[in-house]
Structure 1
Amino acid sequence: MLWEPEHGGAEAAGRKDDLWVYWNAPTREDDTAAQIALVERVTHGNYQGLVLAPDQALALMTPVRRAVERGVCTVIVGSPLSIPASDRLSYILNDDEEGGRMAARRVALLLHGKGSVGVIGINPNISGIMIRARSFESYLAENYPDIHIVEKRMGSFNVPHEQQVAEEMLRSNENLDVIVALMWPSVRGAISTIENEPGKLSTKVIGFDPDALPFEANSLDSVIVQNTREMGYQAVDMIAARLHGTPMPPLVKLGPVLVTRENVNSKEVGNLTSMDWSKSP
């Protein structure tokens, strides 16, 4: 659900701009070597553009630099790299600062301004996750001093490990009100732990970057979704414009959307999360 909507947006722009889109990805989120190999394929193949959602902020820098140096118009989507924009490198990023503030406001609404929060899924390899973590923490501290972050834990793409992390957090904080999970495997781990312990059902989960919308789980309060469909559309459109001599903007930020039980069946959320890329307009 996170990246197939981007596929739809990219295909829609490709049809409009008369560009063929080759779409591929590693089979696992943490397979950075496979993603590097895909970038190298584009760099040394007959491709005029590259749209990349980097799995790892540091490891992808050198492959991206090589692509740009070889004249491949490149757009980084989702989470940034520490490479400045140039005439052949642009960024279309999720506004992770707003995502962090959005999660903080949702926590404050749930807790009426007072309570305890645990944060899991902190991943220093993904810049966007670190941005949203800092934004969440600072916004709470500035605006809701009676809401306390009682524990923070690192995250991984391994759901059983994230379940163990959630179990440990709940054991050490018996009255924990909310878990904010910054990665979807962490959301899965937290939901599984809470749903299997009836005494913990009062703890609610707010998550990011869903691969599904499992609101049948009572513990899931809400998820914050990136607009990857628009990222894909704008990225391919920007590359097409650059190939026709129009400069690419250095940076575009797209706001995420808060999805709850109240709006999950809305047209906006349906368009945002649809994985049927073949029928994208």
Structure 2
Amino acid sequence: MKRYFIALLLTAAAACFVAAPACNRKAGGGRRTIAVIPKGVSHFFWQSVHAGAEAAGRESNVEIVWKGPAQETDYAGQTNIVEDAISRRVDGIVLAPTHKDALVPVVERAAREGIPVTIMDSGIGTENYVSYVATDNRQGGANAAERLAQRLGGKGRVAILGVKAGSVSTDQREEGFRETIKAKYPDIEVVAFQYGESDRARSLDRATDILTAHPDLDGFFASNESSTVLKTSRPARLTRSSSRTPTRWATRRSRRWSPSSTARRRRAR
């Protein structure tokens, strides 16, 4: 995670020299400030991102301003945080958009005002950013499908416990899972799909509802940390396969799952 964020911060810092007049005002000296804005702050994944950002900031002599909404469904709250960063005239913004469309206007505003934006984790419906760094989430979902199919012997009834519509990273994981099951495992049926709205308690309620409606369920696919909350009294019958957050895909425990990362750079417009 530290290396991941060093790359993000160096990308944002480099953009200051070539793309943004707002950053060039400090060309004569002074410590640069980068706002790092996650989807939320409650999940373990974002806490590890915070630690990585701070470590990278110390190493690169960049001041990190870390702030995110309490909940990943608070689109307005995240928009306000980005607007505040723009008003403070930070030198760059690293943003994990809570929604692919809701954050477009404020990202485009940052671009108009000469503040470079690096998008991380989830895509966004605009090209007005300087770089995009994320896990190959669709491949991650495909890998989860392969793993669950292996555990089930290629047949069974499974359910998907998703996160929320419009979150590009988890949308892609869920799509990758469904596409792989449909294309390669005709004897595995996806019998239910529900969103937990990035909330642990709600995810557990949805999982309980699914189990009640499908008592013969063989497996679950949970597409992020908040949805991996299933508890069951039938551990011998039910298999859990979770497409974990990108940081977990990269850990030693799940090294065999590591999909290639994707990174794209675009000129600020």
3-state SS of 2:73 partner:
coil
Whether 1:21 and 2:64 are equivalent positions in the alignment is yes
TM-score of the pair, normalised by structure 2: 0.72
User: Structure 1 residue aligned with 2:139, among 75, 80, 98?
Assistant: 98
Report the counterpart of residue 205 of structure 1 in structure 2.
Answer: 240
Percent pairwise identity: 28
Partners of 2:155 and 2:187 within 8 A in 1: yes
Cα deviations by residue, 1:14-72 (Å, 9 ceiling, x for unpaired): 23332111111122222222211110111111311000111122211111110111111
| Residues 44-193 of structure 1 aligned to structure 2 (within 5 Å) | 44-84=87-127, 88-188=129-229, 190-191=230-231
Whether 1:227 and 2:262 are equivalent positions in the alignment is no
Q: Distance in 1 between matches of 2:55 and 2:46?
A: 14
3-state SS of 2:114 partner:
coil
Q: Distance in 2 between matches of 1:165 and 1:28?
A: 18
Q: Distance in 1 between matches of 2:114 and 2:246?
A: 29
Q: Distance in 2 between matches of 1:70 and 1:96?
A: 31
Distance apart, 1:143 and its partner CA: 1.7
The one-letter code matched in structure 2 to 1:91 is Y
Question: How many pairs were matched up?
Answer: 213
Q: Structure 1: where are the runs of 5+ without partners?
A: 209-223, 229-255, 270-281
Runs in 1 of length 4+ with deviation above 4 angstroms?
none
The one-letter code matched in structure 2 to 1:206 is S
Q: Distance in 2 between matches of 1:67 and 1:187?
A: 35
The 1:3/1:164 distance shift into structure 2, 3 A limit, reads closer
3-state SS of 1:119 partner:
strand
Q: Distance in 2 between matches of 1:175 and 1:126?
A: 30
Whether 1:34 and 2:54 are equivalent positions in the alignment is no
Partners of 2:164 and 2:198 within 8 A in 1: no
Q: Distance in 2 between matches of 1:174 and 1:33?
A: 39
Q: Distance in 1 between matches of 2:88 and 2:218?
A: 52
Distance apart, 1:154 and its partner CA: 2.7
TM-score of the pair, normalised by structure 1: 0.69
Distance apart, 1:160 and its partner CA: 3.1
Partners of 1:182 and 1:207 within 8 A in 2: yes
Q: Distance in 2 between matches of 1:77 and 1:158?
A: 21
Q: Structure 2: where are the runs of 5+ without partners?
A: 1-43, 259-269
RMSD: 2.3
Distance apart, 1:183 and its partner CA: 3.5
Distance apart, 1:11 and its partner CA: 2.5
3-state SS of 2:65 partner:
coil
Q: Distance in 1 between matches of 2:204 and 2:63?
A: 41
3-state SS of 2:190 partner:
strand
Q: Distance in 1 between matches of 2:79 and 2:240?
A: 33
The one-letter code matched in structure 1 to 2:167 is I
